[in-house]
Amino acid sequence: MAAWAQEADTAKFRAAGVCSRCHVAQVLEWTTSKHPNVNVACRDCHGASEGHVANERNQVKPDRLPHGAAIAGLCASCHTAGCPKTKEAAKCESCHHPHALIHPAPGKLTQMTFQDDDRVRKYDGHMRSGEASAAKSDWKGALAEFEAALALLPSNRKAAARREMAWRRANPDIPGFRRLSEKFDPGTGLPLDVSVADLGLRMALVPAADLDMGSERWRGSRPVHTVRVDAFYLARLELTQLQWTAIDGENPSAKKDPALPVHGVSWDDARRWIAKLNDKIAGGGFRLPTEAEWEAAAVRGGAGASARNTWHRENSAAPAKGAFREIDAYSPHPPGRLASDALGLFDMLGNVWEWCSSASRPYPYDAPDGREDATGDELRVLRGGGYADSLADLDPRFRHADRKDRRQIWYGIRVARSVPRP
């Protein structure tokens, strides 16, 4: 391997995300270019290519595989003046390696630079100034710098993300939320710990992430595939009967106790309740989590390490031979009694099953394929397991589903909220 390749910045390599798992050589080449510095990554030329990523057998091509003039067209979206040396704008790939941007001639394996590109140099300057302002908590100053950088490279995702972060830090109040601490997510600028005004519903920020969704362990959770999940808020606890009745007078739970999670709730019931919540709380945006969001939160938080023990074990002891115990021997417990996970979420596994917005369709999960459409009669996904499930089956990857109008005694909800956009 060439020395330049060995010196490839591992952070840049990671920035290539899921592509680096298979396309090692191409990503290595890309890390030696200046493209990672200005956040021009694989998907900028090849598209998001989610189908390609999800298909392990490589039967699905990337969204774009540019050749010839198409490559030059992509280059021109930033390098509007063409090549700084030759002014050539139509045949970039004839001199430059498409990923490494190095000179192809023998003995001239030198890295190309953008030193002559005035626009990129200015972009770098604004980004550096923005970060410096951010380090001093000068959010308005940072916002101005990131906006200036974005104006120079409008499709640059890094500048867009930093601008959004600075905007949020400059405008930290979110309608309908009360901040419970002054801790913010450094990537998005969103407050980490909030509660819904007047309802006592605490929510935690689940940061954006690439999720390896699914599991080979469960037939319905195959294949494992990568899904991008944006940041969102998720309630720390399953919704209690007290919170349910505060919005909707009727309590559907079989075992009535304000401290217990509301149960016996159908997907339709949950949606109706959330619609009322949105009418009541400024800003709205409350909803059920998608199953990708639910799994991202559970996996990221490390759900189960504590919840799988203690309470559930006590209630799962097999009865003596011949002693028959009925379903009624089981019941939910007040949420939050056990330790939380790393994200501050309680009872992600066990207690009550939690409805997700998603229709139950085979993997790979693909949100735009209609599975997040609320209409239609498809089964809806439930996650997390319930109080009457055996310990070994509690797994954040396990999928269950039921009819939208079915009110099983162990079906409850956990509320999610979309992150407001600037």
Please state, in angstroms and rounded to a whole number, the distance separating the CA atoms of residues 231 and 234. 10
Q: How far is the CB of 217 from another protein (least distance, A)?
A: 8
Give the binding site for another protein (CB under 8 A). 218-220, 254, 264, 318-319, 321-322, 324-327, 329-330, 379, 388-390, 393, 398-400, 402-403, 406-410
Please state, in angstroms and rounded to a whole number, the distance separating the CA atoms of residues 50 and 54. 6
First to last CA, the chain: 45
Q: How far is the CB of 345 from another protein (least distance, A)?
A: 22
Q: Are 369 and 360 in contact (CB under 8 A)?
A: no
Of the pair 57, 321, the CB lying nearest another protein is at: 321
Please state, in angstroms and rounded to a whole number, the distance separating the CA atoms of residues 87 and 193. 53
Structure tokens at 223: 């294949």
Q: How far is the CB of 352 from another protein (least distance, A)?
A: 13
From the list 272, 302, 291, 296, the residue with the least C-alpha distance to 372 is: 291
Of the pair 29, 402, the CB lying nearest another protein is at: 402
Please state, in angstroms and rounded to a whole number, the distance separating the CA atoms of residues 56 and 61. 11
Of the pair 105, 327, the CB lying nearest another protein is at: 327
Q: How far is the CB of 188 from another protein (least distance, A)?
A: 35
Of the pair 105, 318, the CB lying nearest another protein is at: 318
Q: What secondary structure does DSSP assign to 91-128, as a single string?
A: -GGGTS-TTT-B--STT---B---TT-HHHHHHHHHHH
C-alpha dihedral, 413 to 314 to 338 to 234, nearest 10°: -20
Of the pair 7, 326, the CB lying nearest another protein is at: 326
The HSE-up count of residue 31 (CA atoms within 13 Å, CB side) is 23
Of the pair 149, 359, the CB lying nearest another protein is at: 359
Q: Are strands 201-206 and 232-235 parallel, antiparallel or unpaired?
A: antiparallel
Q: How far is the CB of 312 from another protein (least distance, A)?
A: 12
From the list 156, 134, 135, 151, the residue with the least C-alpha distance to 143 is: 134
From the list 61, 48, 45, the residue with the least C-alpha distance to 18 is: 48
Q: How far is the CB of 331 from another protein (least distance, A)?
A: 12
Of the pair 321, 421, the CB lying nearest another protein is at: 321
Of the pair 197, 379, the CB lying nearest another protein is at: 379
Please state, in angstroms and rounded to a whole number, the distance separating the CA atoms of residues 234 and 139. 26
Of the pair 251, 408, the CB lying nearest another protein is at: 408
Of the pair 19, 409, the CB lying nearest another protein is at: 409
From the list 411, 308, 267, the residue with the least C-alpha distance to 353 is: 411
- β strands within 288-415, DSSP E: 353-359, 380-383, 400-402, 411-412
Q: How far is CA 52 from CA 60, 232, 368, in A?
A: 5, 26, 15
Of the pair 7, 250, the CB lying nearest another protein is at: 250
Q: Cα 266 vs. chain centroid, distance in angstroms?
A: 26
Say which residues have a Cβ less than 8 Å from residue 106's Cβ, sequence separation at least 6.
none
Q: How far is the CB of 69 from another protein (least distance, A)?
A: 51
From the list 399, 194, 189, the residue with the least C-alpha distance to 292 is: 399
Please state, in angstroms and rounded to a whole number, the distance separating the CA atoms of residues 392 and 93. 55
Q: How far is the CB of 333 from another protein (least distance, A)?
A: 17
Q: How far is the CB of 350 from another protein (least distance, A)?
A: 13
